[in-house]
Chain A
Amino acid sequence: MLEIKNLHAVVEGEELEILKGVNLTVNKGEIHAIMGPNGSGKSTLSKVVSGHPEYEVTEGSILFEGEDITEMDADERAHLGLFLAFQYPVEVPGITNKTLLREAYNTIARANEREELDPLEFEDYLVSKLDVIEMKDEFLNRSINTGFSGGEKKKNEIFQMAVLNPRLSFLDETDSGLDIDALKIVSDGVNKIANQDNAIVMITHYQRLLNYIKPDFVHVMMNGKIVKSGDISLAEELEANGYDQMQKELA
C-alpha cells in the first residue's frame, strides 16, 4: 500500500537534512509503530508523507498504491485515502468541526466519484460516528480544536479519522495527553476502524499504547532514519534499555 524508498527531506529552502534515507513498506491490513527519541524525525516523516509544503523531498520517493505521490498536494493525497492525526492539532477559530468534515467528506467523495451526502444525510452519518470514541455531539458545532483540552484535541483527530475513513493513517503521538480512560476509549476506537483493507502507522514514545493497539511491526527511528525494525518485543526492549543502549549496539 505504502512504499517509502530512500526518502531524504529538508525544510524548504534550507540545507540541513531532517530525513536521511527512510525506507518503510506498509501493506494493507497492517498496523505499524514507529518509536524514537525526540527530534529524530518522526513527525517530519508523517508530514512529508501527507504533503506538507514546508518540506522538500531531495531524494527518494513515496509510492501509494503503486502511484508516485512524492510531488502531490496534500489534498490530493487525502483524496487517495491518506490521513494524518497531528501531534499538535491546529486550532481553527470560526470553522466548526461539522463544516470542515462535511466539506472534507464530500470533496473526497467527489474526487472518487462517490455519492456526496446532503446536509441531513451527513448529520446522521456524523452522529453515527460519535460512538466510535464516545464523543459528545456538542463538539460538532464547536470551532475546530478551539479551546479544546489537550486530550480533547487528540480525540477529535481520531473522530475525524472515523468520519473520513482513510485507507492509511499516520497517528502522531495520539496517546500523549490522554488520561488512562481516554486512552482506552481512543484505542478501542482505532481498533474498530482498523480492518483488512486499511493500514495504520502509529508514532509513540510509550509501550503503554501498544498494549491496547497491537502492532504487527515496530520500527525505531534515529537521526532521520529507520535504524531497526522488528515485532512488539522491540518495544519491550526499548522500554527496558532505552535508546542509548540500542544506539551503542548498532554502532
Chain B
Amino acid sequence: MVNVADKQSLKSFVDTSSAEIKYFESLREEAKKLLEIRPFPTKRDEEWRFTDLKSISNGYFKPIIKDQLDTALNLDEYHLPEAKKSRLVFINGHYSQGHSCIEGLPDGVIVDTITNNENHPKVKEYLAKITNYTDDVFVPLNDLSFNDGTFIYVPKEVEIEQPIHILNVFTNMEVAYFATPRVLFVGEMYSKATIIEEHVGLAQNQYLNIPVNEFRLYSGAHVHHARIQRDSKQATHISRPIAMLDAHAEYHSYTICLGAKLFRNEPRVIQNAAEVDFTVDGLVLIDGDQIADTHSIMDHRYSYGNSHQLHKVVVNDQAHSIFNGKIFVAKDAQKIDSFQENRNLLISDDAKVNTKPQLEIFADDVRCSHGATIGQLQDEEVFYLQSRGLTEQKSRELLVYAFALESVESMAVKSVEELLLREVIAYTNRD
C-alpha cells in the first residue's frame, strides 16, 4: 500500500508496481526516476490552486493484480449495440478478454492490448512519446504501472465504421485501489475512426483512476472521440488525453463528466502541421461535493488551424467547477481561428465556479474568441413554462435539460446519446 504524497511511500509504491511488470522495462525505469525527483502537486502550485489533492495524497491506494478479477461479472447493460463486435473491456485497469469482443474489423486494423503489440513499430515509435507534461507525476505513474492498455491502429485510407468502445469498469474491492488505463491510437493518412472511451464505477467505492491517452493522427486522419466519465462518486479521476495532429487531420473530442468526487481533466491538442481542425468540447453535470476541474491546452504551432472548445457546466449543491483554457499560438502560426466558450449554470446558492481563459498568442494574424458566462436559470423562462401549467420543478428540469442537450447531440452514436439523455434526466430529477 502506498501514500503517493509521501516520498518514502511513493518509493515503495514504485517498487510494488514494477514488481509485476515485464514489458517496456526502459519506460518503467525512466518513470521511476521521474517519480523520485518530481514533487506531488499541492494547492501552492498555480495550476492546482482550486483543486486539493489531499484526498488522494493522504489516501492509500493498492495496485490490483489480475488474479483478483471477477471474470464472471455481468456487464451486458454497459454494452453499446453499435459496438457489439468492437469492444475492449478493462476491469479495474486490467484487460478482460472474456468481456471483450473484436470481430470483423477491416483488414490491417488493430484493436488490441498494447502489451500484445509490444514490438509493433508504431508502439515503439509513439508509446510515451507525446505525453510530455512538464513536472508531472501522473503520466509517469501511468507509464510505470499501466497493465495491458489499448492499442488501436488504423491503416492508411481505412475507415472503421463501427465505433470502438473502450469500456473501463471499476468494481468494489475491499481496499481503495488505483488503476492506470492507457490508450495509444495511431491513425494513418486519411483513416477514420470513432472512439467511445467510457469509465464506469459499478459501486460507490473509493478508487483512483489515472488514464492516459495518446492519439497520433497522420495527415488527413479523422477521429471522433467521446469520453464518458461515470466513475463512482467516491473516486478520484485524473485524466491526461493528448492528441497530435498532422496536416488536414481532424480530431473532435467530447468529454462528459458525471461521476467522480474529484475529476481533473487535462486535454491537450498539438497542431503539428498547417491546416488542422479540432474540438475539445465538454459537458459537466455535478452535484453534492463533487469537484470537476478542466485544464486544457490548445497548442497551435503552425498556421491555418481551427479549434473549437465549448465547455458547458451545470453545478448543483456545493459542487465546484474549475475551468482553465489555455490557447497557445506560436509566433509563425498565422490564420488561426480559435473559439472558446465556458458556459456555467449554477442551480444552487452554494455552487461554485472558477473560470479562466488563458491566451498566449505570439502571431498577429489570428482570430481567437473566448468568453465565459456564469448564470442561473432565467426567471422569465421559468415563468413562461410555469404559466403553461408545468410545475416550477419540472420547468427548471426542462431548462437544465435544454442547456445540456446540445452537448449530448454531438455524440454521433445513437446509443451513447440515449445513455446520456438518461443521465441528464437522472441528474435533473434526482429527488
Contact = CB atoms under 8 A, between A and B. Distances in A.
Interface in A75-103: 75, 77-79, 83-84, 86, 89-90, 92-95, 99-101, 103
A90 B402 CA distance: 15
A107 B394 contact: yes
Contacts of B391: 75, 107
B173 interface: no
Given A104-B390, A164-B389, A92 B384 contact: yes
Contacts of A52: 383, 387
A14 to B, nearest CB: 16
Interface in A87-131: 89-90, 92-95, 99-101, 103-105, 107-108, 111
Contacts of A164: 388-389
Contacts of B234: none
A237 interface: no
B405 interface: yes
Contacts of B394: 103, 107
B398 A95 contact: yes
A204 interface: no
Contacts of B385: 92, 95, 100
Contacts of A174: none
Contacts of A108: 389
Nearest to B380: A90
A61 interface: no
B403 interface: yes
Nearest to B402: A94
A137 interface: no
A50 B387 CA distance: 7
A79 B380 contact: no
A227 interface: no
B contact residues, range: 20 to 34
Nearest to B403: A94
Given A94-B406, A103-B398, A51 B387 contact: yes
A53 B379 contact: yes
A192 B387 CA distance: 23
B381 interface: yes
Contacts of A93: 402
A75 B384 contact: no
A92 B387 contact: no
B388 A104 contact: yes
B389 A107 contact: yes
Given A95-B398, A95-B399, A95-B402, A90 B381 contact: yes
B339 interface: no
A90 B384 contact: yes
A94 B402 CA distance: 4
A107 to B, nearest CB: 5
B401 interface: yes
Contacts of A101: 388
A103 B391 CA distance: 10
A160 interface: yes
Given A99-B398, A107-B394, A74 B387 contact: yes
Contacts of B384: 86, 89-90, 92, 144
Q: Which 7 A-B pairs have the closest CB atoms?
A: A94-B402, A78-B389, A90-B384, A104-B388, A74-B386, A104-B389, A108-B389
Given A92-B399, A95-B385, 20 more contacts: A52-B383, A53-B379, A54-B383, A73-B386, A75-B390, A75-B391, A75-B395, A78-B386, A79-B389, A90-B383, A92-B381, A92-B384, A92-B385, A95-B402, A104-B388, A105-B389, A107-B391, A111-B389, A144-B384, A160-B388
9 contacts: A51-B386, A52-B383, A74-B386, A75-B391, A78-B389, A79-B389, A94-B401, A94-B403, A107-B390
Interface of B: 378-381, 383-392, 394-395, 398-399, 401-403, 405-406
